Structure 1
Amino acid sequence: MKKIIQIMLLFLLFFALPLQSFASIDGAVISNLGTSNVALTIRDADTGKMVYSHNGDKLMRPASNMKLISGAAALGILGEDYRFTTELYMDGTVQSHVLNGNVYIKGSGDPTLTKENFQAFANVLKQNGIKTINGNLIGDDTAFSGSTLPVGVDKADESYYFGARTSAITMSQNADFDASTVIIEAKPGKVGAKPTYSIEPNLSGLVISNQAKTVNKGQKNTLTIKRVYNSNKVIISGSLPQGSSAKEWVTLQNPSKNTMQAIKTTLQNAGIKFVNNSKIVLAPVSNEAKLLHTNKSRPLAAIFPAFMKLSNNSIADILVKALGQQELGEGSTLAGINVMKSYSQLLDVPVDKWRFADGSGLSDANRVTTNGLAQLLFNVQQQPYFNTYFISLPIAGNSERMVGGTLRKRLTEANLQNRIYAKTGYIPNVYTLSGYVKGNSGKQYIFSILLENKANGNTHIDRAMASIVKSL
C-alpha cells in the first residue's frame, strides 16, 4: 500500500509541472543540495497546489525560518497595531522638589525603548516638580516569567547579541532593536596605550576591564569585546591598530536591572538626584502608586522589518512571551510557543508532529517540515496582515540594508534581483530559505528549503534557487 501511495504521489507531482521543468528542479536539488539531508517543497502561490516535494514531510531544523511561524502568530494575535507600553509611576509625596517615595518603571517587553525615552521619563518627573528622589527606583518586570536566557544559547554565545536575554524591561540603542544589549566601540590611542571606548546608551551597570593595547597601523586587529559569562564584567582585550576601530553589541547580564541602571544614569544626567541609600529594586508596582506617563512603542507593523529582514532573535523571543501573556496570562516561552502552535493549527498547518522550542529558531530542538512551512506561507496570503508580513521579508539581491536584509548580498544576478522574498536561516550545520519567488514564466510560487550537514550551505541553496527560477 505504501508503495502504491508513493507512486501516486510521484504521478501527481509529474503532472503538476511540465515534465521538463520537474526534471530540471529535481536535477537542481540533487546536484546542489543532495538527497538525504535536504527537504524542499514548492507550491503554486495562487492555488496552494504542491508542484514539487522532496522529503517534504521529513522533520528538519528550521533555524530562523521559525520566525515565519512566530511572526504570523504575532501579527495574527497581537495585531499590526499592537504597541508595547512602558509606564512611569511614583508613590509618596513631593515637598520642596523632593519626592519622599519611590519611582517605578513597569515594562511589557518593549524592544524599541531607547535613551530618548529615558530622557522623556526625566522630563515628566521634572514636570511633576521632582528634583530629588528620596526613595528607590523600582522596576516591575512581572509581565514576563521564566528564564531570561533564550533556549539554545550556550555559555560561549551568551555575550553576543543573537543570544540576548529576554525581559519585560529592556532597551535598544538604534532602529535595529537588538534588545538587551549595549554598543561598545573602541578606538585606538597612541601606540602602546590602551584604546579609548564609548558605550551606548551608558555603562548600564556593567564594569569594563580594558586590557587592550594600540599597535601600529597595518598590524593585525585582534581586539575583542566580550562579557564574562554570568557577570556584569566586560573585558576589552587584544590589539587595535591605529586607523581602525572595533564595535560590539554586548548583551546585558540582567536586562531588567541593567536597563533600570541605564534609566537611573539618564535621570541623574538630566539633573535629578537620588539620595545616597537609594537602590534599584525589582518588584511589582505598589497599589498606592500614581501613573505619571505611558510610553507606547511604534506599532508592531513598523517593528516587523527589523524583526524579519535582520532576523532579530531578541524581538522573536519577546514576541513569544508577549503572545503567552496576552492569550494565556503567562509571559513565558512555553506559554508563547503553545500559542504559536495553536495559531498554526488555526491556519490549517499540520503541526502535530512538529517540535516548538522557541520563536527565533536559535534552538537546535525545533523541528518542522517544508510541506508545512509552504502551507503556512500559502495560507497567510489570505490574512489581513499579509502585506506587512510579505514586505518585511528580505528581498534577494537588493543592496539596501532595510530592504534586502539578510539577502542583500545573495542571489544578486540581474535575473534574480527583487524577485525572491524569503526568510533566511542559519545555525551550526543548518541552512534554510523559505518564501515567495517569481519564476521565469512570470508566475508566483511558494518554496521552502531546509538543508543540514552541508558545508557552505547558502551557496548550494542559492545555486539551486537560480536553477529552480529558470524552471518555473
Structure 2
Amino acid sequence: MEEIQEKNLDCDTITKLEQVVVTILGEDKATFTLRDRNSGEILYTYRGGHLMRPASNMKILTGAAALAELGLEYRFKTEIYIDGNVEDHTLNGDIYVKGYGDPTINEATLKHFAKILREYGIHHVKGKLIGDDTYFSGETLPPGVDDEGETHYYGARISPITMSPNDDFDASTIIVEATAGNFGEKPSFTVIPHLCGLQISNEAKTVDKNTENTLEIRRINNTSQIVITGEIPEGEKAKVWVSHQEPTKNTLLFFRELCKGSGIRFEQEEGIDIGTTPKHAKLIHTHESRSIAEMFSIFMKLSNNSIADIFLKTMGKQKHGIGDYEHGLKVVRAYLEKQQIDFATWQFADGSGLSHHNRLHSNGISELLYVLQKEPYFQNFYESLPVGGNINRLVGGTLKDRFLEPELQQRIFAKTGYIHEVNTLSGYLTGKSGRDYIFSIMLEGREEGIPFLDEGLKAIIEVV
C-alpha cells in the first residue's frame, strides 16, 4: 500500500482505517480521503491522488461553480415574440418561443403562455409556432450517453426549450405509466403530461399475477416511437420516464395543443419549426423560472443530470458567449483555479458525471468540500446534499434508503454517484466520537459497489 498521510490520528486509528480499505473497500478498487472538517488537514488518504471516474460527484463541481458564477438569484428566461400584425384577433405572422434553458417549465407554464397569447387578442394564427433554441449550441445529447441511456431521463437531450413532467425537473422527458388489465389483455397506459409528438405502440400483455414482470417501456433510439413490450402481472403497474427525441419540437407540439385548448386556432396543421427570432419581432411576454437557490436542492438531492448540463451550458454562454460543454467546462476550471484546487490532472467531459471520460481524485474533491465552507452560498450547498437514512425523499434524496440505522441518523450529508461499475460518495460526516470530518470515497470495478461503499463508511464512522 502507498504511504499514508496522517495528522491528529493515533496509530491504532490509522491501522483500523487501513483495514477498512483492505477488507471492505478493496485495495485495488478504492480511493479514499478523510479530512478534518475544521482545519481541512488530510488525516488519512489512500490513493488520494489516483484519478477515478466521479460519476455524479461531478455535480459537486458543477453545482458549486453555478452557485458562484450564476448566483443564487439567477433565473432562466423564456420569451414569447410575435412577428406580424394582429387584426380581428388574427395574427398574420409567426409566434416565436425563445428559450434560455429553463428546466422548470411544465404544463402549467405552457398553459400560462397560451393564456398570454389569448389575452393579447390572438385567437387565430396564420403563421407558424417557431422555437428559437440558439442560446445553446453543440450536441444536444450529453457526452458518453450509450444506446440504453439515450432514451431514459438520465440521458435526456439538453435544449434551451424544454419541459418537465413534474417538480423533479427531469427536463426533456415525459412519464409513461402502464397498468395491467385482465388476463390476456393489453395493459392500459397514461402519459404525463402529454405525448408531445411522440407515438406509442403497445405490444405488451397482462399475465397471471404470479408471473414475472417483464414489461419494458422505452423509446427506440433516434426515433419518436415508444414501445411497450413484455408481460405485466395482473394488479401491477409500471412507470418510466422517457426522454424526448427533439426537446424543442416536442415542447412546441404540446404548447400548440394547449393553445388550441385555450381557443387559439392554427391555420397550418404542421406549423412547427425551429428558427432564429427576427430582430424586428415584438416581445410580448417574458417568463422567469424559480431561482437557482430554489431549484438547487432538487438538483443535488435527486442527482438531476439535465439540470447539471443546463447549468454548465448556461455558464459557458454567460461567461464566454457560447453555450456548449467546452465553454461551460472552461468556467468550471476557472472556478477551481480561483478556489486553489489542484486539478491539473483532472479530465472533464460533462457537468453531470454521466460520462466515463471524467476523471477526478478524492484529495481534490475533499479539498473543494473544505474550501466551500467559507463561501456565502455554502449553506445552500450543504442543505442540498442527500442526508443518509432520512426517508423523506426531498431530504434524504439518493441516500433515503441507505444508512437507515438509528445510530447513523444526521451523521452523513453527502453526494452520491453511480455509473456502470462506479460508485462514489463524498461529503461531510460526524464520527462516533462526535468529531466532524470531510470525506471522499470512490470505487471502480465493482458491478454492485454500494454495499461495499456503505459498509466501508459505516466502519469508518465507528473508527473515528
Q: TM-score, normalised by structure 1?
A: 0.96
Following superposition, the deviation at residue 277 of structure 1 comes to 5.1
Q: Does 1:327 align with 2:344?
A: no
- After superposition, where does 1:12-411 map in structure 2 within 5 Å? 13=6, 15-276=7-268, 279-411=271-403
Candidates 448, 459, 467, aligned match of 2:451: 459
Supply the distance in 1 between the matched residues of 2:221 and 2:166 (Cα, whole angstroms): 25
String of CA shifts for 1:289-341, please: whole Å, max 9, x gaps.
11111111111011111111111111111111011011111000111111111
Question: Could you say which residue in structure 2 is the equivalent of 1:435?
Answer: 427
Look up the SS of the partner of 1:16 in the other structure. coil
Q: Deviations over 1:148-203 (max 9, x none)?
A: 00011011221111111100101101111111001111123343332222112212
Q: Offset at 1:133?
A: 0.8
Q: Which letter does structure 2 place at the counterpart of 1:461?
A: L
- Give distance in 1, aligned partners of 2:412 and 2:315: 29
Deviation, structure 1 residue 44: 0.8
Q: Deviations over 1:204-226 (max 9, x none)?
A: 01011111222333333222111
Aligned residues, how many? 464
Alpha-carbon distance in 1 for matches of 2:27, 2:228: 45
Structure 1 residue 396 displacement after superposition: 0.4
Distance apart, 1:454 and its partner CA:
2.5
1:244 partner letter = E
Structure 1 moving runs of 4+ over 4 Å: none
Partners of 2:459 and 2:74 lie apart in 1 by: 40
CA distance in 1, matches of 2:18, 2:206: 55
Deviation at 1:36, TM superposition (A): 2.0
> Is the Cα contact below 8 Å between 1:341 and 1:356 reproduced in 2?
no
Residue 237 of structure 1 and its aligned partner are, at CA, apart by 1.4
Contact 1:137 1:278 in 2 (8 A): no
How far apart in 2 are the matches of 1:190 and 1:408? Answer: 35
Q: Kindly indicate whether the alpha-carbon contact (under 8 Å) linking 1:135 and 1:278 is maintained by their aligned counterparts in 2.
A: no
Cα distance in 1 for partners of 2:46, 2:327 equals: 33
2:197 and 2:250 in contact (8 A); partners too: yes
Structure 1 CA distance, aligned partners of 2:138 and 2:158?
10
1:125, 1:195 → 2: CA distance?
A: 39
1:3 aligned residue: none
CA distance in 1, matches of 2:417, 2:46: 19
Aligned-partner SS, 1:404:
helix
Structure 2: how far apart are the matches of 1:379 and 1:396? 22
Quote the Cα distance in structure 1 between the aligned partners of 2:61 and 2:115. Answer: 40
Distance in structure 2 (CA, Å) of the matches to 1:109 and 1:162: 17
Structure 1 residue runs of 5 or longer lacking an equivalent are 1-5
Task: Look up the SS of the partner of 1:158 in the other structure.
Answer: helix
SS of 1:319 mapped into structure 2: helix
Distance 1:156 1:26 in 2: 38
CA distance in 2, matches of 1:438, 1:78: 31
Amino acid paired to 1:166? I
Range moving further from structure 2, 443-452 or 184-193: 184-193
- State the distance in 2 between where 1:124 and 1:192 align: 47
Question: Over residues 67-90 of structure 1, what are the superposed CA-to-partner deviations in whole Å (9 max), with x where a residue is unaligned?
Answer: 000010010100111111111111
Q: CA-atom RMSD, angstroms?
A: 1.4
More displaced stretch, 412-421 vs 271-280? 271-280
Deviation of 1:278 after TM superposition, in Å, equals: 5.2
* Paired residues of 1:172 and 1:179 also in contact (CA < 8 A): yes
Partner secondary structure for residue 314 of structure 2: helix
Please tell me the residue identity of whatever aligns with 1:337.
L
**What SS is found at the alignment partner of 1:246?**
strand
Q: Is the 8 A contact 1:212 1:239 kept in 2?
A: yes
